Each structure stands twice: as C-alpha cells, then as structure tokens.
Amino acid sequence: MNQPEPNRKTVSRLKRGIGLSVVMLLTLLAVPVVQHSLTMRRLESNTRITIKTEPGTLLSSLPNTSVTWIESYSWQGLRTLLHRAYEIDCPQQELSDADMAAIGRLKNLRMIFLSQATFSEEGFSQLADLRNLRGLFLEKSNISDSGLVHLKGYEELKILRLRSTNIGDHGIQHLKNLRQLEYLVLSDTSLSDDGLMHLKGLVNLNHLDLQRTQVTDRGLIPLQNLTQLTQLILTGTQVTDDGMIYLADLKNLKELRLSNTEVSDQGLRHLQGLTSLEVLSLKNTRVSDAGLVSLKNLKSLRFLVLENTQTTTTGFEQLMTFLPNLQPPVEK
C-alpha cells in the first residue's frame, strides 16, 4: 500500500523550524566566540603576558583530520573558542581591573602566575570564581590580608605561593578551608604563631615554607596535625629546642631546614624518630658533636648541612659510620 505524501505545509514549517534553530544556535555560538576572542586579544596584546592553551572538549573529540583543517583554515575566532586557556603568566605587570576581569573570564585556568605583579583588591576579586584553579603564584605581589578572602572558594587549589608579600595572621585565616592544598610558601611575611593556628586543618600539606617569619615554638604546635608533610622549612625563625618536640611525630618528613635558629644538641634528641629524613640543614645553629649522636638512626639521611656549627670533622666521620647513605659535608 502506498504511503501518503507528507503535507507540503508541514514540511515547510519543519524546514523553517530547523532553519530557525540553526540560526539561533549560530547566534548563541557567536556570543561566546566574540567574548572569548576579545578577552584573549586583550590579554595577548601585552607581549609580556604569556597564555598557554589546550584543545577544548569539542576539539578533543574530533578526528585528527578535522582538527588539522580547523587549525589551518577556520576563522581565528572559532579556533580561539575551540581552545581553552589553562595557564597565564603576568610577571611584574601593573594589571588594571579590566585586565583582572579578563583573566577572571578564563574559567578553565589551572595555573596563574602573578609574581611581582600589582593590582587592586577590586581587580583581584574578579578571580574569585576560578574554581578549576590548581596553582596560584603571588610572591612579591601586592596581595594583602583583605585580598586573601577571595581565595576561600578555591576548593581544588593545591599550590599557593605568598613569599615576600604583605600578609599576616589576619589574612591566613582565609586559607583554612583550602583542604586540598599541598604546597604552601609563606616565607618572608609577617606571619606569627597566631596565624599558624589556622593551618592545622590543612592535612594534605606536604610542603610548608615558613622561613624568616615570626614563628616561635608555640607556632609549631598545630603542625603536629600535618602528618603528610615531607618538607618543612623553618630557617631564620625563632624556634628553639623546646619546639622540636612538636615535630617528633612528623614521620613522613624528608627535608627539614633549621638553619639560623636557636636549636642545639638537646633539640636534636626529639628528631631521632624521623627515619624518613633525607636532608637536614643545621647551618648557624648551636649543634655540636654531642648532638650528632642523636642522628645515628636516621638511615635515610643523605645530606647534612653543618656550616658554622660547633661540630668537627671527627664528629661527622663518626656519624658516617652509622649512616651509609650520608654524603660528605655540604654547604647550602
């Protein structure tokens, strides 16, 4: 039996509907293309700003031949849309609020380098919604305590560098919910013991740099919770022998730097159980040969820095008889 032919009006309406849908789709596509293209163009106009991109989800799903054609022949705006920025480096830049807003529109960013950059707090707030961020480098920038409030939503952040910035205890409280943080640099800031109390919940930390801060023995108490630490840098802090007891249970430590502190032989007794330790720096401390005896069970120890201490060559050589992996004296 013959099938009835479709009604011409129905077919016409269907074609118009499809055509309208295509136009709407292209219109919707054009908006992000233009916005994204303008954002990238604005940032790339500064030759000192470096942006790294990768193929987006759509481009990654296409055959290689199609990707090659798009890369070679398609409109620049389309190529820009099909790639996403994952890293931006703005070293030593004076960034306007508009610049920061442009960075904030790159929602797939995973790494932002703002070392020695200057920006307003309003501008920095434009980055608050970058939920995919994994690393933020702010050393020697003009970030302040009040600016750190905009980091509290960075739940996936793993690396944060704040060396030589104007932050202190008040700003550190905004880091307490960054539970995925693994690498934190706070050296050369005005951080003190009160600020460190806010870090006790960051149990995934494996690298913590506190050198040349105002930390004392009391500040080491909350570090007892950070059992995943593998690197702890306390160079130039105010810690003494009394504080070493709070490090005794950090069994995963591989590197401990205590140079330019008041640690002496008595403090080394508390480090006897740190059997994973590979690097121990005691430069400019009050350690002597008597204290080296406390290190004889640290079988993983490879590098021991003893410059400007009361130790002798004889004391070091005796220690080497217990530690087969220990290298000759180094200066670091």
Q: What is the DSSP letter of 8?
A: H
| 71 assigned to some structural domain | no
pLDDT tens for 178-225 read 999 999 999 999 999 999 999 999 999 999 999 999 999 999 999 999
Confidence grade of residue 18 (pLDDT, cut at 50, 70, 90): very low
| 317 assigned to some structural domain | yes
Of 116, 107, 114, residue with least CA distance to 86: 107
pLDDT for the residue 54: 72
Confidence grade of residue 3 (pLDDT, cut at 50, 70, 90): low
Rounded Cα gap, residues 140 and 138, in angstroms: 6
Give me the chain's average pLDDT, please: 86
* pLDDT of 35 higher than 80: no
| 123 assigned to some structural domain | no
Both tokens assigned to 259: 């140079």
Say how many CA atoms lie within 13 Å of 80 toward its Cβ. Answer: 20
At 175, give phi and psi (nearest 5°): -95, -10
* Model pTM score: 0.83
Instruction: Tell me the residue type at 147.
Output: G
Please, are residues 293 and 321 in contact by the beta-carbon 8 Å criterion? Answer: no
Domain count, the chain: 1
| 64 assigned to some structural domain | no
| 259 assigned to some structural domain | yes
Give me the domain span that covers residue 309. Answer: 192-332
Q: What is the DSSP letter of 285?
A: S
pLDDT tens for 20-29 read 444 444 454 4
| 232 assigned to some structural domain | yes
Confidence grade of residue 84 (pLDDT, cut at 50, 70, 90): confident
| 59 assigned to some structural domain | no
Please, are residues 209 and 229 in contact by the beta-carbon 8 Å criterion? Answer: no
155 Ramachandran zone, left/alpha/beta (phi>0; psi -120 to 50): alpha
| 281 assigned to some structural domain | yes
Which positions ≥6 away from 140 have C-beta within 8 Å?
Answer: 115, 116, 163, 164, 165
Confidence grade of residue 43 (pLDDT, cut at 50, 70, 90): confident
Q: What is the CATH number of the domain that holds 329?
A: 3.80.10.10
> How do beta strands 50-55 and 83-89 pair?
antiparallel
Please, are residues 310 and 287 in contact by the beta-carbon 8 Å criterion? Answer: yes
At 23, give phi and psi (nearest 5°): -60, -45
